Amino acid sequence: MFHSDEAIVLQLIPHKDNNAIVKLFTRNSGLVSCWISSLRSKTSGIRSSGLQPLTLINSVIDQRETKQLASLKEMQISFFPANISTRIEKSALAIFIAELLSHTIKETASDNSLYDFIRESIILLNDTKENCANFHIVFMLNLSNHLGLLPHNSFTPQTPYLNLEEGVYLAKTPLHTAFLYPDESECISKLSSLPISSFAEAEIQTALRKNILHGLLKYFEIHASMTPLKSHLVLEEVF
């Protein structure tokens, strides 16, 4: 069954004989992995250059119950993030965001609100002239809100420790090590309500940013069943 859908490219995985699998987050079908035959064929209308992470495409997908994988039959680029691909810091952010999404979006059902948020974030990252050092932190907090993973309460002077395992702010440190200290917890609580469009308003020092990033990655591993990422190591070198 053929259907057309707008999609966000998350990952392209090459296979032998010029074939590939592309992981897409589509507006109407959610997360879809598609087989691509003869990616480098002269007669193919699909090019790997158009399937870079966070590229927005209009796709034609053949999805049948009898096949384990859908097939990407046609594609047209609807938005190519050219400024991301030519800026080191934006490129590092794009790789991180694509890996984060690939490991956290599990549902195959559509989620238009989540799709629109990711789409808006890609265009914002591409077009912005602001310092992007804290973009990924605000993005992760917005993403956790869309996934229903934000902590159940807020930081206060009486509850200054964020328990990463339980997703609550506590008065005292828990008996395990999966928690954040008051400076980190307060920053996360304040930024949790900041929309991605206002990411430049976030003010986080380098050392604090690193601790918050590690804490949020741990939080996603616990609450989104995310396997550990690798791309954040590049971010720590860039920012």
Where do the domains of the chain lie?
2-80, 83-238
From the list 120, 131, 129, the residue with the least C-alpha distance to 203 is 131
CATH assignment of 2-80, given 3.40.50.9100, 3.90.980.10, 3.40.50.10330, 2.40.50.140? 2.40.50.140
Ranges under pLDDT 70 in the chain: 40-45, 65-66
CATH code of domain 83-238: 1.20.1440.120
27 neighbors 115 (Cβ within 8 angstroms): yes
Q: Which residues of 148-179 are buried (b: 16+ CB within 10 A; e: fewer)?
A: ebbbeebbeeebbbbbbebbebbeeeeeeeeb
pTM above 0.85, yes or no: yes
Q: What's residue 38's pLDDT?
A: 76
Do 2-80 and 83-238 share a fold?
no
15 vs 31: CA distance, rounded Å:
20
Tokens 């804490």 sit at which residue?
215
227 vs 152: CA distance, rounded Å:
23
144 neighbors 100 (Cβ within 8 angstroms): no
Q: What's residue 107's pLDDT?
A: 73
Q: What's residue 49's pLDDT?
A: 81
State the DSSP code for 227: P
Q: Beta 30-36 vs 70-79: how paired, if at all? A: parallel
From the list 180, 74, 191, the residue with the least C-alpha distance to 134 is 191
**Element (DSSP H or E) covering residue 30:** strand 30-36
160 neighbors 182 (Cβ within 8 angstroms): yes
Q: What's residue 146's pLDDT?
A: 95
Q: What's residue 69's pLDDT?
A: 87
Q: What's residue 51's pLDDT?
A: 92
- The CB-side HSE value for 165 (13 A sphere, CA atoms) comes to 7
